[in-house]
Amino acid sequence: MQNMGRWEPDARGRLEKAAFELYAERGFEATTVAEIAARAGLTERTFFRYFADKREVLFSGSGALEDRLVHGTVSAPGNLGPVEAVGAALADVADDVFAGLHEYARHRQAVIASHPELRERELTKLASLASALAGALRERGVPGPAASLAAEAGIAVFKVSFERWTGGPPSRPLSDVIRESLADLKAVTASPAAGPAAAG
Amino acid sequence: MQNMGRWEPDARGRLEKAAFELYAERGFEATTVAEIAARAGLTERTFFRYFADKREVLFSGSGALEDRLVHGTVSAPGNLGPVEAVGAALADVADDVFAGLHEYARHRQAVIASHPELRERELTKLASLASALAGALRERGVPGPAASLAAEAGIAVFKVSFERWTGGPPSRPLSDVIRESLADLKAVTASPAAGPAAAG
């Protein structure tokens, strides 16, 4: 960021807000980068300093989220199993990152859900997150294929929790929903004979 | 299919083969639909009768696979838990669908892995499969959010198993790898105190 030619105060945030508004108003396809930049009071050139394309602007925080989740997974208590470690990391960062954003997250999900190109980009971000978390689990000593499975299962918890959270009341913390989903995952994965609460 | 103007013997299969060869030889971006059709000895118009775009041609069997997995999940033995039911469906259809295709599947995965547009389409297909399997689990009486989690976890098993299988010897049946991954998923999901083989 230091070496950018000209510094625009919160250019990134203004571009995100403008893009989000335009996608909601006119749809993703009908919106151009020039229009996003104009609404933000910036140039197209500035847009492309921050974002590779029109889709990326809705996924701006995903790199920082990934870093925090990787760190949280590596440093989760040693007595936790692999999926529990990912779940603990998710619950730990969830409220920090998403508290106060319930309304925004709900609208953002609706915009993403109604545009296949945005759904694709979201799936790609989640796959990248899963692969980073598998690396974090290998650092905890989990063998390769088991680490991939646990990371994918952790992402399933995140995905389902986020949907439950945005569809529910704003008063409920996301961390709460994540803990509930983690318990549900254990129940649906266990054998009915062995587990206490499995359905089937 | 009945109402198509002109019937081409195995047009679909010829287009798939031609596309796959061209993507491997020249790359996905550099290949045009006209070239695929020409190599298959067909017209562009015929291509678009079978496939919506250049990506779809590599995912031709996904609808049939989805139907079989949904059926297998709904009709899996009643004593199985939700993830076990999906796992049983996966193991049941795996060898039928993929036996003899190890070499092809390996090359196909390499082509997909090296093209972001194809990886995106693959993730979309897997997400659609997860959502169909969640529906199948709800038919088994599994409540909504638990059904989504179990379906996503089942897809994680499929994804990791398919990678393990294509990366391993052709002699090992895919169903074997799926059963192993399912056992791994149980181990990584359970609490280390409660489960027999969890890492951490």
- Which among A107, A123, A120 has a CA at the least distance from the CA of A23? A107
Name the pLDDT band for A200 (thresholds 50, 70, 90): very low
CB-based contact A149 B127, cutoff 8 Å: no
Task: Convert the pLDDT of each residue in B24-72 to its tens digit.
Answer: 899 899 999 999 999 999 999 999 999 999 999 999 888 899 999 999 9
Q: Does A124 touch chain B (CB under 8 A)?
A: yes
How many angstroms separate the CA atoms of B195 and B187, rounded?
A: 7
CA A48 to CA A118: how far, in whole Å? 18
In terms of pTM, does the model score above 0.90?
no
Taking the C-alpha atoms of residue B180 and residue B174, their distance in angstroms, rounded to an integer, is: 10
pLDDT digits (tens, 9 = 90+) for A83-134: 999 999 999 999 888 888 899 899 899 899 988 889 999 999 999 999 999 9
pLDDT band, very low/low/confident/very high, at A9 (cuts 50, 70, 90): confident
ipTM score here? 0.86
Residues of B whose CB is below 8 A from A144: none
Q: How far apart are CA A73 and CA B19, in angstroms?
A: 41
* H or E element, residue A40: none
Average pLDDT, chain A: 90
pLDDT digits (tens, 9 = 90+) for B106-150: 989 989 998 888 999 999 999 999 999 999 999 999 999 999 999
| Nearest chain A residue (CA) to B142 | A199
DSSP tag of A76: S
User: What pLDDT does residue A91 have?
Assistant: 97
pLDDT band, very low/low/confident/very high, at A61 (cuts 50, 70, 90):
confident
